[in-house]
A and B are shown apart, each in its own frame.
Chain A
Amino acid sequence: MPLAVEVAAKTDVGCVRANNEDNFGYDLRYGIFVVCDGMGGQAAGEVASKLGVDTLLSYFRRAAQTGEYQQAGAPMDGLSKEGTALASAIRLANHTIFETGRQQTASAGMGSTLVAALIKGNALSIANVGDSRIYLIRQGVIQQLTQDHSLVMEQVRRGYLTREQAEHSEMQNIILKALGSEESVDPDVEDLVVLAGDTLLMCSDGLTKYIHDNEILQMVSAGETLSQRCSALIQTAKHRGGDDNITCLLLRMVERPWYKNIFHAMFSGDPKWQNSF
């Protein structure tokens, strides 16, 4: 039976910051989902994260029109066509943000994290730059699919820090990779598989710095609708301080027979895509 994707996404400025530098977007027609967390003084962070989301969405929309994926940078070994496309789209986004930052002094030094998922049937390709995350919740188990490109997590991986020390470190805000900070970027891209019943969570660090993995598991498994679960996650993060912008995009894989799919497409009224805002 074909797999269909249900989606809900929300972003919140949090309790402390004056502006929201997070952004997200998706297009169910092409199975592309993106969350970005921007950084940089004044409005530059907002510009960077918006550029990140826009570049990815338009890459896959354009590919659907031309029928082929535009290649940017050297193809990575052992990746599917979709994974390679995701890497290309991210390199283009990096280039766009880097050039914009260089041309406009007001946005110099801007950058953005990015997590993206591309879903075609059972095939899932994910990509990551920075410290936003993708989690997979399957059969009552939560698994972080991405590795943070942060100084503290790099130290955890090398065995200099424990996970507990990392969570209390003052240097959690230092990341090692971002879109737009250097001329080229080397994203993590991986080809994976999704099954009916799986839930994917894509989020900015404003969420994960307040909510532990096992709490996420509980909260994602409870609640009526996907959108309510999104709100519950964001409310909890705000309740615990919310000193950063919080973004949460939830995806659920459902089995839907083809005739119901058509019915759903015609009458459900759910948006098929959501551009950056």
Chain B
Amino acid sequence: MAKLILKFEQNILKEVGLANETFTIGRLPDNMLQIDNLAVSGHHAKIYWDGDHYAVEDLGSLNGTYVNNQRVGKAALKSGDIMTIGKHLVQFKDEVQTAASPKPAEKPGPVTPKLDATVVLDTKKAQDIIAANAAASAGSGPLGLSKPAPSPTPAKERFGILNVLEGRTDQKQYVLTGKMAMIGKSDMATIRLKGFFAPKTAALISKHDNKYFITASDKKSKIKVNGEDFAGQKELKEGDIVEVAGVKAAFSFQE
């Protein structure tokens, strides 16, 4: 018969047999296995016979139910599995399963969902782990990083600058810090054109992998880079001269 062994810090507190179809674990006395500890929810988890195997299901407990250190909503149990309920450990033992059916794992039972569900680290825990990682970057980190990444110096971010040479704009110089900067009269434009006939949108400068590219905002818009027309999108290089919608500007990189 299957049984549960309740342990707390190496000590075996109790052994109970799983006689019923459903077996409940919780802090309150109406549970079949009562664990009187505040880390345990009133009705924490239940263990039940699920067709051809035992399974554990968390009953919405505050601190969760873990099987072999994986938090689970519901999971199939095999002999020897250790559940963590609050600060207590509950080991599941099923003699029949281990003795009579030698390879229970290969039984074509219902697929147990892979319990690698997404988990959220709270802000503090995350900071601790990342800080610990930084401290241990030389040796083996707590998260199994055997060595620091080979490229520890990420490319230094550099910003493009547009100096307006001719034409009416709201500023004479623009530092392109964002991912995208629109040239046009529209409110959303970073490089704001002035004048009644200025187009709402003329061109877009976008930043991607530390490079800058210019694109016409629509088919009507004509852009020249160093006096030449182009189709699609063109990378901007140091010293390029951009002409669009009556504005002439020089592109350069900030040091």
Contacts and interface: CB of A to CB of B under 8 A. Distances in A.
Interface of A: 1, 16-18, 37, 39-42, 44-45, 80, 104-109, 111, 113, 121-123, 131, 138-141, 143, 145, 151, 154-162, 165, 170-171, 173-178, 181-182, 190-193, 195-196, 205, 243, 255
Contacts of B71: 41
B214 to A, nearest CB: 11
Contact of A1 (B64, B122, B208, B218): B218
Contacts of B144: 170
B119 A155 contact: no
Interface of B: 41, 58, 60-62, 64, 71-74, 111, 113-114, 116-123, 126, 129-130, 133-134, 137, 141, 143-145, 148-154, 178-180, 182, 186, 188, 201, 204, 206, 208, 215, 217-219, 232-233
A190 B233 CA distance: 22
A107 B232 CA distance: 50
Contacts of A177: 120
Contact of A193 (B122, B126, B133, B188): B188
Contacts, number: 143
B113 A18 contact: yes
B182 A193 contact: yes
B125 to A, nearest CB: 9
A80 B188 contact: yes
A154 B41 CA distance: 34
Contacts of B129: 151
B244 to A, nearest CB: 14
A40 to B, nearest CB: 8
B114 A243 contact: yes
Contact of A161 (B120, B149, B179, B219): B149
A53 B125 CA distance: 28
A256 to B, nearest CB: 12
B152 A41 contact: no
